[in-house]
Structure formats: C-alpha cells, structure tokens
Amino acid sequence: MQVKELYADEALRIGSVMLEMSEEVKEADGSILVFLHKSVDGDCVGSACAAVSMLKNMGVPAKVAMPEKLPDNMAFLGVDDLLEYIADPSAEEITIDGKKVVKVMSVDCTEGSRMGDMGQIYDRFEDAVTVDHHEVTELRNDRKWIEPQASSACEMMFYVAKQTAEMLACDIREVLDKRAAMCLIAGIVTDTGRFTYTNTRSETLEAAGELMDLGGDIMAVCHNLFDKKTPQEFRISSQACLNTEFFADGKLAITTVSEQMFSDFGATKDDIGDVVSRLRDVEGVELAVVLRETGEGSVRANLRSKTSFDCSEFAGRFDGGGHKRAAGFTVSGKAMADLKDQVVKEASELL
C-alpha cells in the first residue's frame, strides 16, 4: 500500500531529516532527546517512544525527555527503558548513557513552554525536528512537519517510518519494531477516541490496520487506556459526573475536581481522564468542561465539544490551545470557583 498523498512528501522530508540528524549525531559521538508536552497522553508518549525506537534503529542513543511520571495505565507499553527523567534540566551539559545530547526532536508539541521543566533543555536548540498535528503556522520550516488534518502525531510518525523504510529499501520492521507499533496505535486510539472523533480519516484507519499487522494489539490498547478502572478511578470519576452542572439550556456541562476530592478518594489526575468525554456524550451538550486543581496553585481545564463549538479558540482566551473538538488550558493564581464562573459566562455567550 502506498503512502497517502496527504502525507507522502512531508513524511519523506522528515524521514530524510531524521536520517541526516542520526548521521550528524554519530559523527559527534552524541545523543538525541525527544521531547513531548506535560500532562502526557497516549499520543505524545506513543509518538515520542516510536521516534526514539526509530532513532535507535538508525544507530544513535536516544531517549524521551519525560516531564513527569508515566501514567500507570500506560505501563503495559513496556517503554521504561526509552524514558529519561532528568533531575537537573538546568545543568550545562545533558547526557544520555554518557553521551552529550547534541540534537533534539519534539512530537505532538512545538513550544518549550508546554514541556514542563524539560523545556529548559529544548529551548537551547534552534534546529529541533518537529512532528505535530496542532496548528502552529508561525513555526513551520524545513525541519518541522505540522499537519492539522492528521488525527494524531502517532499517525504522522507511522507514515514517517513507512517512508524511511522505503528510502532505506528495507522492511518497515527494521525501522519500526513491534513495541513501536504498539505505541503508535495507542496514540491513534487515544486521539481519535477509538476512531469515533471527526478527525478519523481513511488514512487513519489504514495506518491502524498496518500497525496491527506489525504487532500492535488494539484490544490491549483499548482495554488499558479506556476500559480498565481502579476502584479509586471509578469512584472519583463517578463523583465528578454527579457534581456536573448544566448551563446555556443544557449545551454546557461543567464539573470541578478539587485537591480534597483527589485526597479523599486516594486518586490522581489520571483517574478522571474519561470524565470530560462522558459529559460531552450527554444528549444536548455541545461543550463539556472539567476543571481540576493541580496542587501547584493552578487550575487545569479540559474541554471537549461536538460540532458547533471551537475548543481551541476558546482555550486560546486563557493562553491554552489544542484542537477544535478537544483543547485545554491552565490558569494560575485564580480560585477554581472564580474560573468556573468565568468559563460559564464566556462559554454561555458563545453557545
């Protein structure tokens, strides 16, 4: 099956850049860090781990610069050996396995400001290679592939791997191993909501099918990322749903999760990941919002919409971003109750 026209040229270009970068790193006897955004999800983790796997198969040391602990529900991917937790990102020299980091790459993210403490390292490099499906027009150049039509960064990385294999005249399994295929299908499943969101295209389904042929277990991915629940997760997500309030004639559904709730249920932020989608699925709801206290003096908002509301544009009012149907933002120095009132007022006016 040929690479789809939507991806062919750009995937080929990025594959070429990755090969060139790997040769430069070999000559420098260095290493590569791959960066992703904080509040990690299946797409950024999957695409980053696949990129690292590809770079290692090109013969260079590479790791994912993790801004936080890998969520428990992603442990099934078995990628701990690909992850790097850097204790002092302000250090003058960062090394991987004793080799200085001389090149960087980012996936599902273009700005160091979204990478937590790891952004201190990323921002030192001006020649980062980037693969992202968020609209960031001002950052386009020959080393960045920005494709808002793609369902996910993982879908894009699959086509990069496919074009790389063609350039090397080798079987794709020599570029993308079984574990990397699992990581990529996890990201695609995450960002398409199990192929139910409007960002699911024919290219997306074909990529998923080929990744299954390469060893990606879609049933294991769906079970671990969507279906499996701990008692703590079940209880806090149920309570968050019970606390939901409806505004704008039922078009807006919003709930809040406080630090105290997390403490009472013995839960973590990852335990409420499904709540916003459950609110959006309520009949008549056009916009769903979940606000949670982060424990760092800030409030995180997650937004999901159906057809008529642009989540990305709304999140931009609070210096956030994302996609039309899924976005988020973080606000510091404001009480969650006050932020909720502001969100309800501004969103209701738009709805």
Domain chopping of the chain, boundaries: 5-225, 231-350
Q: Are 289 and 276 in contact (CB under 8 A)?
A: yes
C-alpha 344/C-alpha 339 separation (Å) is 9
Q: Is the dihedral of CA 221, 226, 228, 233 positive or negative?
A: positive
> Which residues of 191-269 form beta strands (DSSP E)?
245-247, 252-257
Residue 18 has pLDDT above 60, yes or no: yes
Give the predicted TM-score (pTM) of the model: 0.86
100-114 residue pLDDT tens: 999 999 999 998 988
116-144 residue pLDDT tens: 999 999 999 989 999 999 876 556 678 89
Could you give the C-alpha distances from 56 to 26, 44, 81, in angstroms and in order? 11, 18, 12
Other Cβ atoms less than 10 A from the Cβ of 347: the count is: 22
Instruction: Please give the structure tokens belonging to residue 343.
Output: 């969100």
Average the pLDDT over 200-214 and give the result. 93
95-96/99-107 β-pairing: antiparallel
Other Cβ atoms less than 10 A from the Cβ of 173: the count is: 15
CATH of domain 231-350: 3.10.310.30
Q: What is the pLDDT of residue 137?
A: 54
Q: How confident is the model at residue 1 (pLDDT cuts 50, 70, 90)?
A: very low
The tally of CA atoms less than 13 A away on the side-chain side of residue 201 is 13
Query: What CATH superfamily is the domain 5-225?
Result: inorganic pyrophosphatase (n-terminal core) (3.90.1640.10)
267-286 residue pLDDT tens: 988 889 889 999 999 999 99
Could you give the C-alpha distances from 77 to 50, 83, 175, 216, 313, in angstroms and in order? 11, 12, 18, 10, 33
Q: Are 184 and 215 in contact (CB under 8 A)?
A: no
Are domains 5-225 and 231-350 of this chain identical in fold?
A: no
C-alpha 108/C-alpha 227 separation (Å) is 24
